[in-house]
Structure 1
Amino acid sequence: MAEPILTLSGVKADIEQYHILHGVDLVVPRGELTVLLGRNGAGKSTSLRTIMGLTNLTGGSITYQGQDISRWPTPKIARAGIAFVPESMGIFGLLTVRENLVLAAVSGPMDEARLQWIFDLFPPLKKFWDKPAGTLSGGQKQMLAIARAVIEPRDLLLVDEPTKGLAPAIINDLADAFEQLKEQQVSILLVEQNFNFSRRLGQSVAVMNDGAVVHSGTMAELSENEELQQELLGLGLGAHQ
């Protein structure tokens, strides 16, 4: 396994009076795409939000690039090179595509070469450059959300359920874009329910249940072991080929 860029050790987190994470141990290797799998309610989204400082951490530690970021405020975490694409996507519907990206480029004017790279990843963004983001399709909004996250170079990208509710053709386009991000050696932690999408992209995998990681290893190992898939997820990947 590659050197970790992010490590969660015994992480616990609460939402109001509810204990959601019960000691999460997770390693995200540098330069790889790690998929976080699990049934609904297992704690996957809460794990991402806790990494970003958006959910109250009550125990354990989070180490990023060798630094303990457990108590850092969210803006400091973002400035350290971690980008987060929530399930809600977080775009500004009344602003144009251009304005959304300008706001995300917090270090100054957008780099033209990087903007062209984003247009190559997501051609619809160039087509609808001056259109309000709220008028885009669901898939195009997801493209914009990811583009906002990577308009500036990031070391780690956290993405929550990017394919939810999207048509197969759009999912395939997103997979192609993630493949290109992998080639750029961006470290990615991806929460996903689409098994084919996960299997295509994932190098490492962790499976959560009841607020804890119950399995970790390579995606290749999990893909080849339908008995383990059934045990951990209640559904074999082979049924979705």
Structure 2
Amino acid sequence: MSEPILTLTGVHADIDQYHILHGIELQVPRGELTVLLGRNGAGKSTTLRTIMGLTKVPRGSVTFNGKEITSWSTSRIARAGIAFVPENMGIFGQLTVRENLVLAGTHGPLDQSRLDWLFDLFPPLKKFWDRPAGNLSGGQKQMLAIARAMVEPRDLLLVDEPTKGLAPAIIDDLATAFEELKAREVSILLVEQNFSFSRRLGQTVAVMNDGQVVHSGTMAELAQDSTLQQDLLGLGLGAHQ
């Protein structure tokens, strides 16, 4: 693995009276796509929210680009270079595609060359530029959500279940876009339940169970070990071609 851009050390997190994360140990290599796998309720989404400062950390530390960000506010974490695409996508349905992207920018007018790059990744965004985002299909909304996160250069992209509820053709388009991000060596931490999608994209992988990371390594190793897949996930990746 390459040098980590993000490290979680002994991270605990509570939501109301529930103790969700039980000493998370996780490293996200710089310039790679890391997939966070696990059964429902394992704590994957809470891990992303904790990294973004949306869930507080009573014990443990989160380090990003060599700086401890455990106690930072969400806005400060975002300004430091982490973008988050939540499961609900977080777009503004009453605003146009253009307005959604403008609002996501923090450094003045949008850079046209970067917009052109995003249009190449997600052609529907250019086609529906002046239409309300609420009128887009589910897949197009997901494209907009990722484009919002990447409308300015970011060091790390956190994405929570981008393929959920999408048709196979749209999932394939998303996979192609993520491959382009990988080619640009964007550091990505991806929570995903679609194992075929995960295997196609993932370079490194961490598997969670009951609020802890119980396995970490390369995706290639996990994809080749059906016994390990069964033990960790309850099914084989090969069943999801």
TM-score, scaled relative to structure 2 = 1.00
Aligned-partner Cα distance in 1 for 2:180–2:239: 27
Q: Secondary structure at the match of 1:125?
A: helix
The answer as to 2:159 corresponding to 1:149 is no
Aligned-partner Cα distance in 2 for 1:138–1:196: 20
Q: Secondary structure at the match of 1:56?
A: coil
Q: Deviation of residue 56 (structure 1)?
A: 1.8
Aligned-partner Cα distance in 2 for 1:59–1:140: 39
Q: Secondary structure at the match of 2:14?
A: strand
Amino acid at match of 2:55: T
The answer as to 2:27 corresponding to 1:27 is yes
How many residues are aligned here? 241
Aligned-partner Cα distance in 2 for 1:84–1:12: 20
Residue segments in structure 2 that go unaligned for 5+ positions in a row:
none
Amino acid at match of 1:145: A
Q: Deviation of residue 10 (structure 1)?
A: 0.5
Q: Secondary structure at the match of 1:12?
A: strand
Aligned-partner Cα distance in 1 for 2:154–2:81: 5
Q: Deviation of residue 231 (structure 1)?
A: 0.2
The answer as to 2:232 corresponding to 1:239 is no
Instruction: Deviation per CA, 1:135-156: give whole Å up to 9, x if none.
Output: 0000000000000000000000
Partner of 1:70: 70
Identity percentage of aligned residues? 79
Partner of 1:5: 5
Aligned-partner Cα distance in 1 for 2:184–2:169: 23
Q: Deviation of residue 233 (structure 1)?
A: 0.1
User: Any residues of structure 2 matched to 1:41-190 within 5 Å, and which?
Assistant: 41-190=41-190
Partner of 1:16: 16
Amino acid at match of 1:216: S
TM-score, scaled relative to structure 1 = 1.00
Aligned-partner Cα distance in 1 for 2:238–2:112: 43
RMSD of equivalent CA atoms: 0.4
Residue segments in structure 1 that go unaligned for 5+ positions in a row:
none
Q: Which contiguous aligned blocks of 4+ residues in structure 1 show a shift greater than 4 angstroms?
A: none
Q: Secondary structure at the match of 1:189?
A: strand
Aligned-partner Cα distance in 1 for 2:70–2:104: 24
Aligned-partner Cα distance in 2 for 1:3–1:22: 25
Q: Deviation of residue 28 (structure 1)?
A: 0.2
Q: Secondary structure at the match of 2:58?
A: strand
